[in-house]
Structure 1
Amino acid sequence: MLLYNIGIYLFAAGMRLAALFHPKARLWLRGRKHIFRRLREAIPEGERIFWVHAASLGEFEQGRPLIEAVRAGHPEYKILLTFFSPSGYEIRKNYPGADYIFYLPADTPRNARRFLRTVRPEIAVFVKYEFWLNFLKQLRRSGCRTFIVSAIFRPDSVFFRWYGGIFRRGLRTFERLFVQNSDSELLLDNIGISNISIAGDTRFDRVNAIAASARRIGIAERFAQGGGHVFVAGSTWPPDEELLAELIARRPGMKFIIAPHEIDPARIERLRGRLGCPSARYTECTEETDLSGVRVLFIDTIGILSSVYRYADYAYIGGGFGVGIHNILEAATFGLPIAFGPNYGKFREAREMIALGAARSVRECGELNDWLEALESDPQLYEHTRRLSARYIGENKGATEKIMRYIFGKR
């Protein structure tokens, strides 16, 4: 534990140094300034606190169905939402579904004790990962009921290494670990962790809710009208965009909506210049903008991609030429055939959708073009692929209900 604590102190010191140069590090540091005073001022004594911690934006979306279920079914609780990363906090700091939203202090022994004395949570939920050992230790001492939801474990994780003893002890602080699949259950069982339930992944509940309440995006809707299939590429990185630029040249009859993962105006403008066809940026359009000759629409704002998929005939998800693909479920919930790059092995849903025939991994533009050609030339195959994609979402819903039944005593 000593080495772990030294690592935490060194990390915090490194962030203070990085804050001199990097905006995200400055946000990380600034958001934790005077945090205990701000917590005391925000949270009155005597409130029953349901605490949800998410590392970043993706984990927040994963935990959101549970937050909303608690809000709807158990108004006796006030919901505290914490984030580790600025990319989560800064985007969702005004989320109306939580009563209090803060950064999580660095996981030092003193911070963990002060945080729990100040907040006094009755129930704590960690989403997917974030195994902060000092917080877990103090949660156990305080008697707070502690859970992890939508967790997934892999054989190369620290818990299963010879040096992972302190992390294995951390797992034993949870009252229940709600895991996504039987592989995770087996791995945990092999190290003597038995307080496990296979509940599935709450992201399926989230994307199902997104589809049910998808917003009308007027500019995207007008762009999609007027003939031609619409290809939506979400969360793209430069290697994805290299492939897409070639695809756009190959398929002059298709319309493209591209939502880069990082909204850098200069990068978008460079890409527009390379395409050699009429394009537009979403934020520069109005309801009066003539989109009749535009072939590529760039989504250069945050928060609408999940609704934009409703206008697609095909979807491509970025990240597969880097560390891994982004969220494919937001597209699948609209029953779309989906493609992505080759680095998808860590993502269960990607592997399963490929096995079903609802998705395709591609390494270069020719493979992507051939996949589109096969689907466009065979309407029955296209409709079958759409049904497979939508059915996959439908068959994997229900994790939130299972978790709620356990936590609130309806097992």
Structure 2
Amino acid sequence: MLIIYRILTILLWPWVVLLSILVPSLRNFVRTREEDKKRIRNFQFIAGSKKVVWLHAASVGELDQCKALAQVYRKKEPETFLIQTVFSDSVRDSSLEAFPADLKFRLPLDFPWSYRSIFQKFQPKSLVLMAWDRWPNLLLAARKRKVQTVLASAVITVPKGRFKREFYKTVFSLFDKILPSHRSGEEKFKELLGNAAYIKTLGDSRFDSVIQKIESGAKEFKRPKDYPFSRVFLLASTYKPCEDLLLPLLNEESLKDTAFWIFPHKTDPQRIQELETTLRSYKVDYSLYSQSQFETARSKVILFDVLGILAHAYRAGDFAYIGGALHNRVHNVLEPAYFGLPLLSGPRIQHAPEALELKNRGGLFVIQTKEEVLEVLDLSSERREAIHFSNREFVETGRGAAERIYEELESVPS
């Protein structure tokens, strides 16, 4: 199975080269990695001079998981040299540069020869991937050099097809340790791997990142003074399918006392202009966060066209819709759960164990129709209070996962 994968990646290389000439986005993808390769080659480091731990994140959410673990290392082992890699271009350069690691770069494409110089130069003790990520050639290169390989905050959806299932089994077996985020994940990994891997549930380190981010906030986020609406419905990380479902509710008579605060997933000028056009079509009073005095706002709809506010704005909300799951996959549900809000989401939550757990506990509602949304927004105060306690309790149970993962990593003798 792995031989087939390695052969296919080798055969893919000429096509990558060709397409990178023709496709601008792929050209930038390859160029960035070539620049990183030169930077790594010129980086001054003496092999064996320090203990090295390599953390890898597929995208933004996994980078939060890595950040919590990196902060534990910084506290307990400040001398340890940390490498942080990411793969997705959705991770901004500024986020990567601000990460608490000694060396940060974008992971090369997974060819058999991609990692040789990195392992030779830095000789890491451990390679830690997050959530569901697994790069066969990267894991094989690590194993060849007897580097501890760990999948932390691990999640899995067991495939049904025989070929895919066997491939998953082969690749996940390359990890020395698999540390699921939840018990349900542990059961799925054991179903797939049996006794072929060390599996131990330690939690999701993203809980620590979320808690730390909120609790270290510079100031408390409050509703505008004398705000004329008694309830606030936050629409978080929205895409067009989200808005097509939810914005028609702006003219719903039963929600005349409910304000809508919209946080689109992207805030580039074109996206904001499209949303403004849509809002004008509903003849609703709205304001842009960046162009208004929020402290004295009176608009039923506030469109947040800046980043960095959402995690704290949940504090001022009554309900929260979390976008992405109507067409792709749900975004971060932990931040609003920390504040105990009843959550609404589309149906595509199977890759987010925390969303599934919140749904099972009765604090997250899967909605696909206008009627389902209205039903949730009509919950009794008693039910909302119970959800507040349950959702907040769920987040608190995840506190300390990063430290538990750290202790498990360091439990292996050097």
Q: TM-score, normalised by structure 1?
A: 0.88
Are the counterparts in 1 of residues 341 and 388 from structure 2 also a CA contact under 8 Å?
A: yes
Partner of 1:63: 66
Letter in 2 for 1:232: L
Letter in 1 for 2:389: R
Out of 368, 372, 379, the position equivalent to 2:373 is: 368
* Distance in 1 between residues matched to 2:220 and 2:260, nearest whole Å: 15
- With 68-77 and 137-146 compared, the bigger mean Cα shift is at 137-146
Distance 1:224 1:372, change over 3 A: farther
Corresponding residue SS for 2:114: helix
- With 92-101 and 11-20 compared, the bigger mean Cα shift is at 11-20
- Counting matched residue pairs gives 403
Partner of 2:336: 331
Letter in 2 for 1:273: T
Partner of 2:271: 267
Task: Map Cα deviations across residues 355-406 of structure 1 (whole Å, 9 max, x no partner).
Answer: 22212111112221222123xxx32222222111111111233322221221
Partner of 1:78: 81
Distance 1:95 1:229, change over 3 A: same
Partner of 2:204: 201
Letter in 1 for 2:190: D
Partner of 2:287: 280
Are the counterparts in 2 of residues 39 and 119 from structure 1 also a CA contact under 8 Å?
A: no
Are the counterparts in 1 of residues 181 and 203 from structure 2 also a CA contact under 8 Å?
A: yes
Partner of 1:234: 236
Distance 1:169 1:344, change over 3 A: closer
Letter in 2 for 1:105: P
Corresponding residue SS for 2:97: coil
2:125 counterpart of 1:122:
yes
Letter in 2 for 1:214: G
What is the Cα-based RMSD across aligned positions, in Å?
2.7
Distance 1:237 1:289, change over 3 A: closer
Distance 1:277 1:22, change over 3 A: farther
Are the counterparts in 2 of residues 8 and 106 from structure 1 also a CA contact under 8 Å?
A: no
How far 1:194 sits from its partner (Å)?
3.3
* Distance in 2 between residues matched to 1:307 and 1:21, nearest whole Å: 43
* Distance in 2 between residues matched to 1:157 and 1:47, nearest whole Å: 44
Letter in 2 for 1:74: E
Are the counterparts in 1 of residues 343 and 365 from structure 2 also a CA contact under 8 Å?
A: yes
Out of 357, 364, 370, the position equivalent to 1:359 is: 364
Letter in 1 for 2:368: R
* Distance in 1 between residues matched to 2:230 and 2:21, nearest whole Å: 49
Letter in 2 for 1:25: L
Corresponding residue SS for 1:109: coil
Q: How does 1:290-305 map to 2 (within 5 A)?
A: 291-305=296-310
Are the counterparts in 1 of residues 176 and 197 from structure 2 also a CA contact under 8 Å?
A: no
Out of 142, 145, 160, the position equivalent to 1:139 is: 142
Letter in 2 for 1:133: P
Corresponding residue SS for 1:86: coil
Partner of 1:253: 257
How far 1:211 sits from its partner (Å)?
2.6
How far 1:20 sits from its partner (Å)?
5.8
* Distance in 1 between residues matched to 2:328 and 2:104, nearest whole Å: 29
Task: Map Cα deviations across residues 24-60 of structure 1 (whole Å, 9 max, x no partner).
Answer: 4344222101433311323411232211000111111
* Distance in 2 between residues matched to 1:313 and 1:80, nearest whole Å: 40
How far 1:120 sits from its partner (Å)?
2.0
2:128 counterpart of 1:152:
no
Letter in 2 for 1:4: Y
* Distance in 2 between residues matched to 1:331 and 1:212, nearest whole Å: 13
Q: TM-score, normalised by structure 2?
A: 0.88
Where structure 1 has 5 or more consecutive residues not aligned to the other structure, the ranges are none
* Distance in 2 between residues matched to 1:292 and 1:279, nearest whole Å: 10
How far 1:96 sits from its partner (Å)?
4.1
